[in-house]
Amino acid sequence: MARPRASNLPFILAGLLLAGGCSAPATGQSRSAAPAVETVVPAVPPPRAVVVVPPPAAPVSRLWPVKRLYDVDYVDVQAIAERFRLKASWVTSGRVMQLADASGRVRLKFENRDRSFYSEGIRVFMGETTVLSQGSLYVSRIDVIKTIVPLVQPVEYAGLLPGPPRLIVLDAGHGGADPGTRNLVMHLDEKNLTLDVVQRLKKLLEVRGYRVILTRNDDTKLAAGQRPDLEERDAVANRAKADLFLSVHFNSAVATVTGTETYVMTPQSEISTGEARDATVDKAFPGNRLDFANIILGYHLHRSLVTALNSTDRGCKRGRRLVLCFPECPAALVEAAYLSNNTDASRLATPAFRQRIAQALADGIDDYSAELAALHPSPSSTGESRPVPAASKPHP
């Protein structure tokens, strides 16, 4: 299980990798490849209330106790339970462990040799697989810091998180000569569906008080060539100094695959979902400056979509997509449904279902905004000139 170290491949390879499609299949192969078999997922609970848990007695900067396994630093799941005052118990001895709060609500669930876990019933992917060692279950230290802690107790990173978004840039995937995924049976092109959804979403967000900019308002490409087109989408958000960037897509795989998945930027030194270590793994991109906000945003969007659409939970995943690497604000890419699946496509063909997608995304953005607002009370409500003193910023 030892991982190979990054090779000294020329960075032109990194450029080629990043210039690939702006969306990805479940396995990280070509979009037409068959995805891996998915596990049966638990029922999705109703959206969680935004509650800021009081910080633990121990300092936030305390180092996690680690154990070196297969050339990776791992943390015992029991240590996670102790840190957040949760009760750890085996669901299946030596295989599945859950962490529950004092009321019995299951907050986290891990499975041995799995690269994903469940946070309050929602599937979230990590960079490393879990490991069983001497009767204990372990997850990698970087996954604890970059994924688990921001979801379980974001207050630990309050000083590193932005305030609630005000200006949002919405990106309708593909356009012009690039149709994206096509369902020839239903005569549907991804580029048209994504534009319709973001236009609906724009109206919903503006009613809620957000300012919204679209990367495209009609059936056009932003630039000639795939990479320049994707880079220009990032540039729209960066020039506008956006607080949030969301790219909307519909997926493709073998015709039997259905469900919803969401992508956020892969943390530096982690492996993207469904991929192997490559020349970009140790490179830091602008999108990595907001790793903690990215996972919180992706989680809320994914949870809202899966719940509202009653779709198969294919996970909140990690990827080094161009539209995630270079935005200078929290960013996410959603694959709300599979256009290659005729059942999904028949639903996407109806305005009512596209409105449901837009509504779910608006609700997910609201949930994300509410979480950040709870961490950054406004001066008018606290009487303070700033919500988080610089000296209190935690260090992962």
pTM of this prediction? 0.82
Query: Do residue 125 and residue 234 come from a single domain?
Result: no
φ, ψ of residue 198 in degrees (nearest 5)? -70, -30
- Domain extent for 312: 160-375
Domain count, the chain: 2
Query: Do residue 81 and residue 183 come from a single domain?
Result: no
3-state secondary structure of 43: coil
Residue 194 within a domain: yes
Say which CATH number the domain at 131 has.
3.30.457.10
Q: How distant, in Å, are the alpha carbons of 7, 184, 217, 259 from that of 195?
A: 40, 19, 7, 20
Q: By the 8 A CB rule, do 280 and 265 touch?
A: no
Query: Do residue 321 and residue 207 come from a single domain?
Result: yes
pLDDT digits (tens), the chain, 396 positions? 433 333 333 333 333 333 333 443 333 333 333 333 233 333 334 444 433 334 443 334 458 999 999 999 999 999 999 999 999 999 999 999 999 999 999 999 999 999 999 999 999 999 999 999 999 999 999 999 999 999 999 999 999 999 999 999 999 999 999 999 999 999 999 999 999 999 999 999 999 999 999 999 999 999 999 999 999 999 999 999 999 999 999 999 999 999 999 999 999 999 999 988 877 899 999 999 999 999 999 999 999 999 999 999 999 999 999 999 999 999 999 999 999 999 999 999 999 999 999 999 999 999 999 999 999 887 654 444 333 323 223 333
Residue 237 within a domain: yes
Report the b/e string of 271-289 with b at 16+ CB within 10 A.
Answer: bbbbbebbbbbebebbbbe
Query: Do residue 204 and residue 118 come from a single domain?
Result: no
pLDDT of residue 48: 45
Query: Do residue 119 and residue 181 come from a single domain?
Result: no
Strand duo 188-189 + 260-265: pairing: unpaired
The single residue listed with the structure tokens 């961490």 is 375
Say which CATH number the domain at 174 has.
3.40.630.40
